[in-house]
A = this chain, B = another copy of it.
């Protein structure tokens, strides 16, 4: 492949001039010279070598994307958005599945340094662990998605931005919806490993219950998935938990699932047990994966404003790569309710 010197020779100019046109510094250039250089580039099918550019400038137009597992539809949708936003800024996405394993995460971060990647989006992973803190200290710019950590967990100022749906509000919204529709025996169903976003959702569940004097009966039921990152595992867990829920006394009439995958499994399990949804039990999920609309009945859910969130992440990443001294911030986005058919059309009158 032709390099900058070949082009320079071919056009009978210096490499500097070629470099100038590469970098759009053509204002002072004689149009004729410019034309000759352009021509030479075309004829030689010249493509500038980014590796060399990077070595010189220290900039790679790549961002890292660390996800627990791309097979999770929420993360797949997120990834598509990130890819879109990255392209809009002329960036490419370097993907890594880490299954929330510390050694996978560490390896990914190391590779980011090695490949000269300056900015990484870390999805749904607690970032108070040493490898993340250390990477930040070494200058890696990171944005966390959906694992907002408390300041004290990070003793003081977190060294990265954070973008998240307001998970307390999401839990509250889902629960409130059930209550408005007349449910009184509320259960929140979750996987037992506690991530930040999960505990926030649970918090929102209790906030809503309390608001309506239902804190006595409101319960959390949990189970352990083989792997906490997978979607198939989540759905399996949901299916398995249906039995546990039906043993509960009294049997609930409204269920909030920590995420859609679990909720869908739950619905399948309940249906197997001849429970009618929503007549006997109402179910609502959180996250709104595409699948939620395809099951029977279509499942109501709570949805994060994905595009806005991704745009913010990209914006912050680029800003802080440009200006590393910029203080990290936390951004919270309000979720919305998507009402479908898995929640009973009960008493719609305003309660209390």
Contacts and interface: CB of A to CB of B under 8 A. Distances in A.
A93 B95 CA distance: 6
Interface string A24-63: 0000000000000000000001011111101100001010
A93 B92 contact: no
A113 interface: yes
A212 interface: no
A73 B73 contact: yes
A208 to B, nearest CB: 28
Interface in A99-144: 107, 110-111, 113-116, 138-139
A70 B65 CA distance: 14
B50 A116 contact: yes
A226 to B, nearest CB: 14
Contacts of A71: 73, 76-77, 80, 290
B80 A69 contact: yes
Contacts of A268: 294, 296
A49 B55 CA distance: 9
Contact of A70 (B62, B80, B232): B80
21 contacts: A1-B138, A47-B113, A48-B114, A49-B55, A49-B116, A51-B116, A71-B76, A71-B77, A76-B76, A79-B95, A83-B96, A83-B97, A87-B107, A92-B95, A93-B94, A93-B95, A232-B290, A265-B294, A291-B294, A294-B295, A296-B296
